[in-house]
A and B are shown apart, each in its own frame.
Chain A
Amino acid sequence: MSTAKQEKEPLFSPKNKKLLTSPINLNNPITVQVLGICSALAVTAKLKPAFVMAVSVVVVTALANVIISMLRNGIPPRIRIIVQLVVIAALVILVDQVLKAFVYDVSKQLSVFVGLIITNCIIMGRLEAFAMGNKVWPSLLDGIGNGLGYGLILLIVGFVRELFGSGTLWGYNVIPAGAFEIGYMNNGFMILPPMALIIVGIIIWIQRSKNPELFEEN
């Protein structure tokens, strides 16, 4: 590698941009790596909790990546998982307290799932796979990118489920009352967790048919 370039790599060089964008599509944590499915099923019945969850995960992945990346040379390899968990747990508790303070009702809906961000495989995975071996700035981008990739899927699933399941978006009625009078009904299946799995499946289907590089040999 040429040293001159290495020293003054621009903040958004193509390589760094790729860290941010690749998890949103080709390397999406949910639809390609199939991680973090549990919370994607649990919190997406409505758009608002899905959005709050997405933001929380973006914050936690980004900050955890930054902190671990700073510490990476000082962490003894044998206890690195514990160190990572402590960092994540601290961040999650911070997020939880902020949610309780400012959006109490959503925090109640998310209930245990905020705490369970700690066990979200995406975060641990990024710390292990990326932050432990990369500098702070790329780690931050990687964290934000993966958080956004996760959040994007959450928002799509939440949008579809709330629109067809409850007839609302962000809590506001969007299906006109006239539709209900002529016989339209909300789809109760959308509220149930299996439908979230089916919607994620459909997203994977569409994504793969648009990106030939994701085809798997079998």
Chain B
Amino acid sequence: MKLLRDFLDKQKPHFVKGGRFEKLHSTFDAFETFLFVPNKVTSSGAHIRDAIDMKRTMIIVVVALLPALIFGIWNVGYQHYLSQGLAYDFWPMFGFGLMKVLPIIIVSYVVGLGIEFAFAQVRHHEVNEGFLVSGMLIPLVMPPDVPLWMVAIATAFAVIIGKEVFGGTGMNILNPALTARAFLFFAYPSEMSGDLVWIAEKADAYSGATPLGHLLVGEVDKIPSDWAMFLGTIPGSIGETSTLAILLGAIILIATGVGSARIMFSVVAGGLVMGWLFNLWGANDYMNIPAYQHLIMGGFAFGTVFMATDPVSASQTGIGKYYYGFLIGMIAVLIRVFNPAYPEGMMLAILLMNVFAPLIDHYVIQSNIKKRLKRAKVAVKA
């Protein structure tokens, strides 16, 4: 540790103003603060001093993603061998999954961080840690067989158009990871939907449809058991299949206060209410599936825990979070059941509500102001 500190201190003069690598200042800064708690403190004014900063927040989210990631890696291998009718031990499956998933993660991080660093140098601001999470979320919402160059452009698109255009981390309107997925979904639909892409190197004769894919064509009897969908031993995007692993992540996020429990609960409530309304209507088989099944299928759980709670693009006000989350749940189920072109509504629902989040906040704040004004007037009269 001491060695590292000494090394950094030795290199530091090269990167400050007037040094040899002045232009790479923010790069150095990023690595230094990544390794050590920065020794700069606020010097004036009233500030809340707290051990938590963006870096720690982001690391906690990455830790919360680990259960889903590890399960996802295993499941990629499991689905692959299952489709070929072979059964192996844990490690060969995990190894196969790792061979598939690791390159996607590396591509996502290299491209995304490369662009972040480049922008930080050009704009002379610090490198932000926001991409640590986005770079992990992007691989988890990709199908296991996605070509790596597609991951690269989607990441570039998400970072540049989804984030840097608006001013970088903290300024984006849309969730960057979902922007990447939506980009691929519309740009290369054949690689992002259908029933061929969800199992890596699938054997030809084996059906690779996701539960949502089955439901879309009306094969209600073909969806896996609730238990399988909850555990996640089903085909799907890399990190989204296991509701159990995602729940572990949710517990970490809620316990540390990093993810908003209000949003998570209200998304679930919205999904359940919409599913239940469809049950009442019951016009076709899809509408008749139990409401809770919507929660364990597809990306609903993953979106609820990791995407909808993104602190930047979600609603900021307390009451606003309930509206925001509830509408995400409702719209997600609505799109699933009603729109044959989009089997998974979660991505589109979250992106849509990302756009509306500032509006929700605006009305919440306005109503608050009105209430207070009223109270003030009453007080004056009395």
Contacts and interface: CB of A to CB of B under 8 A. Distances in A.
Interface of A: 183, 185, 187-190, 192, 198, 201-202, 205
Interface of B: 147, 149-150, 161, 165, 183, 186-191
A129 to B, nearest CB: 31
Contacts of B150: 185
A183 B151 CA distance: 13
Nearest to B164: A205
A189 B183 contact: yes
Contacts, number: 21
B187 A187 contact: yes
Contacts of A188: 186-189
B187 A189 contact: yes
A202 to B, nearest CB: 8
Contacts of B189: 188
A189 B186 contact: yes
A99 to B, nearest CB: 31
Closest 7 CB pairs of A and B: A189-B187, A189-B186, A187-B187, A188-B187, A185-B188, A183-B147, A188-B189
Given A183-B149, A185-B190, A188-B188, 14 more contacts: A183-B147, A185-B150, A185-B188, A185-B191, A187-B187, A187-B188, A188-B187, A189-B183, A189-B186, A192-B186, A198-B161, A201-B165, A202-B161, A205-B165
Contacts of A198: 161
Contacts of A189: 183, 186-187
Which of B149, B150, B187 has its CB near the most chain A CB atoms (within 10 A)? B187
A74 B187 CA distance: 54
5 contacts: A183-B147, A183-B149, A185-B191, A187-B188, A189-B186
Contacts of B190: 185
A202 B189 CA distance: 24
Contacts of B191: 185
B107 to A, nearest CB: 14
A187 B147 CA distance: 14
Contacts of A201: 165
B187 A190 contact: yes
Contacts of A187: 187-188
B234 to A, nearest CB: 27
B220 to A, nearest CB: 30
A187 B149 CA distance: 12
B179 to A, nearest CB: 11
Which of A188, A202, A205 has its CB near the most chain B CB atoms (within 10 A)? A188
A194 to B, nearest CB: 8
Contacts of A185: 150, 188, 190-191
A183 B150 CA distance: 10
Contacts of B165: 201, 205
A187 B157 CA distance: 13
A198 B187 CA distance: 14
A202 B160 CA distance: 10
Contacts of B147: 183
A14 B191 CA distance: 55
A190 B153 CA distance: 13
B208 to A, nearest CB: 19
Nearest to B190: A185
Contacts of B186: 188-189, 192
A198 to B, nearest CB: 6
A201 B187 CA distance: 18
A216 to B, nearest CB: 14
Contacts of B161: 198, 202
B138 to A, nearest CB: 17
A105 B25 CA distance: 57
Nearest to B122: A209
A205 B161 CA distance: 11
A154 B147 CA distance: 32
Contacts of B188: 185, 187-188
Which of A183, A189, A202 has its CB near the most chain B CB atoms (within 10 A)? A189
A4 to B, nearest CB: 52
A187 B187 CA distance: 5
A199 B150 CA distance: 19
Nearest to A198: B161
A188 B341 CA distance: 15
Contacts of A190: 187
A201 B186 CA distance: 19
A192 B150 CA distance: 18
Nearest to B149: A183
A113 to B, nearest CB: 23
A187 B186 CA distance: 8
A76 B191 CA distance: 62
A180 B10 CA distance: 50
